[in-house]
């Protein structure tokens, strides 16, 4: 785990990460302004509890993902120096991008826990960005990682089983 901006990174991914980081910070600021400064939203305690559970689910998925795949990284690149190979165990047996799938739980859980309905309303934008990155990442992996096309044919779902 190094910086999210690296020399070996694809140019499109470097731009994507920079934009995503800016949007992430703006999202967090918007939730803080909504829930605490201006108190525009009032999320009931039971929904905040669901938010906390969603964040725990996200953390657990990340744990399972890193346990199964030592090649998981914040940047899109094939790690030839480490003999990068396709991983199809653990959560990778169900979806091709389990870290992104787990992030969806965070995108829902954080605004609920923080008490911001507006933050929750913006979560689909972040999910859409993840979906775009997943498609672009798959183009790179299909072109550069032996066996990825076969893996993608075996594991049908990118982010959400039975949906996409």
How far is Cα 51 from Cα 97, in angstroms, rounded to an integer?
A: 22
Give residue 2's pLDDT. Answer: 67
Q: What is the extent of the structural domain holding 21?
A: 11-154
Residue 133 belongs to some domain of the structure: yes
Q: Is residue 2 part of a domain?
A: no
Q: Mean pLDDT per 10-residue run, the chain (164 residues)?
A: 75 93 96 94 96 98 97 89 95 98 98 97 96 96 97 97 92
Any domain includes 6: no
pLDDT of residue 8: 77
Assessment of whether the complete model's pTM goes beyond 0.85 = yes
Rounded Cα distance, 73 and 70, in Å? 8
Question: What torsion, rounded to 10 degrees, do the Cα atoms 156, 159, 161, 164 define?
Answer: -70
Q: How many domains does the chain have?
A: 1
Does some domain include residue 126? yes
Q: Is 163 part of any domain?
A: no
Is there a domain that residue 99 lies in? yes
In a domain, 37, yes or no: yes
> Terminal CA-to-CA distance of the chain, rounded, Å?
27
């Amino acid at each position: 785990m190094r910086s999210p901006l690296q020399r070996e990174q694809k140019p499109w991914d470097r731009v994507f990460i920079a934009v995503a980081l800016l949007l992430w910070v703006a999202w967090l600021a918007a939730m803080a302004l909504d829930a605490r400064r201006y108190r525009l939203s009032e999320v009931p305690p039971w929904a905040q509890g669901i938010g906390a559970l969603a964040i725990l689910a996200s953390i657990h998925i990340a744990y399972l993902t890193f346990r199964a795949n030592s090649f998981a990284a914040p940047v899109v690149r094939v790690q030839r120096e480490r003999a990068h190979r396709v991983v199809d165990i653990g959560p990778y047996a169900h979806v091709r991008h389990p870290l992104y799938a787990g992030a969806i739980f965070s995108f829902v859980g954080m605004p609920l826990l923080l008490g911001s309905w507006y933050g929750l309303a913006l979560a689909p934008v972040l999910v859409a960005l993840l979906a775009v990155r997943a498609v672009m990442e798959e183009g790179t992996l299909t072109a550069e990682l032996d066996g990825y096309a076969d893996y993608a044919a075996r594991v049908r779902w990118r982010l959400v089983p039975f949906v996409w």
